[in-house]
Amino acid sequence: MTTSVKTKLVDAFSAKDASASLEATKIPRRDLLADDVEIEILFSGVCHSDLHQVRNDWKGTTYPIVPGHEIVGKVSAVGSEVKNFKVGDIAAVGTMVDSCGTCQNCLDGIESYCLAPATQTYNGHDKHLNCPTYGGYSDSIVVREKFVLSIPEGLDLAGAAPLLCAGITTYSPLKHWKVGKGQKVGVVGLGGLGHLGVKFARALGAHVVLFTTSPSKIEDAKKLGAHEVVLSKNADEMQKHTSTFDFILDCVSADHDLDAYLNLLKRDGTHCIVGAPANPQPVSVFSLITGRRNLAGSGTGGMQETQEMLEFCAQNKIVSEVEMIEMSQVNDSYERLLKQDVKYRFVIDMKKSKK
């Protein structure tokens, strides 16, 4: 199929197959349609999903892939019908750049669950150019206004970038399951998602317990807002919390023992998985039957909720803890993610990477 939409080439970083490093390349960005916003990218967060997809862990990657769905930048041009953004504004893009707009989930304002499905920011299908979508490890991006977010005044821009995926992915389930005062809430894994989960759960008023496999993270977890920290490999420590949790947010990127956490839930408690390990994770039905427990999952939130999350962050002074890197360090950063060695999100300074 050919397309009549004109494009320009911009600098980006892509991987050409599952074993390749990310390397400099050029990608097409469309000329602005009436409701499009062009954003010059300043900061791009490194999500573990970037790594999963570059390495084809989930078996759905189209190559070459340009990852990046935690994007903060400056508006460099707007289409003729754009109302809420002008050149020079700070703007942000998360995990999706379009959706059908007509299915029930879109009508309900939860475009992230669009049945079409939603067009992912990268490794999705760009219906205008009939090619894969390319993400934020690039100089600029063109996105429909409806899928562009505003960063409230006062938020550090590099620290805000991870909010666009890690932030909304942890905020949305905490709000959906009405986490708040008087509840005991667990967060599993102190990585990019987990550390924001701790901050949000604490800000929402819950008693927060962080589960980690990394003894070196205990002190940080407390500083970030955890009331208690449990070393998940220590069965005795885990046992002490049996049947006491209202809600557990599971942010782990690799295989782990779900039964060990299900057994910590109270009657009717919920273990919500947001981490996305490549392999199926086995569960004993007895962990669920005993205590009428719930096992759930959650994706990122819709546009309205993502904007609400950003406002919540501004009110509560929440941003991501970041390790700033340049594009040349991104391959190393992936290796460090695999060793659980990040404090607590790598963010690429796209401008510095150009020099």
Contact residues for ligand NAP, defined by CB under 6 A? 47-49, 52, 165-166, 169, 189-194, 212-214, 217, 251-254, 256, 274-277, 299-300, 337, 340, 342
Assigned token pair, 237: 């420590």
Q: Which residues of 133-170 are buried (b: 16+ CB within 10 A; e: fewer)?
A: bbbbbbbbbbbbbebbbebeeebebbbbbbbbbbbbbb
- Return d(Cα 116, Cα 127) in angstroms, integer: 12
CB of 50 to Zn ion, least distance (A): 7
Which C-beta is closer to Zn ion: that of 85 or that of 200? Answer: 200
Question: How many alpha carbons lie under 13 Å from residue 355 in its C-beta half-sphere?
Answer: 4
CB of 204 to ligand NAP, least distance (A): 19
Contact between residue 341 and residue 216 where contact means Cβ atoms under 8 Å apart: no
Which C-beta is closer to Zn ion: that of 28 or that of 167? Answer: 167
The one among 165, 229, 264, 325 contacting Zn ion by CB under 5 A: 165
- Return d(Cα 8, Cα 70) in angstroms, integer: 22
Assigned token pair, 201: 């759960």
Q: Does 47 bind Zn ion (CB under 5 A)?
A: yes
CB of 333 to ligand NAP, least distance (A): 10
Which C-beta is closer to ligand NAP: that of 28 or that of 67? Answer: 67
Which C-beta is closer to ligand NAP: that of 258 or that of 337? Answer: 337
> What does 253 interact with, of Zn ion, ligand NAP, none (CB < 5 to 8 A by kind)?
ligand NAP
The one among 49, 61, 105, 120 contacting Zn ion by CB under 5 A: 49
Could you tell me which residues are beta bridge partners of residue 38? Answer: 77, 142
Chain residues in the site for Zn ion (CB under 5 A): 47, 49, 165
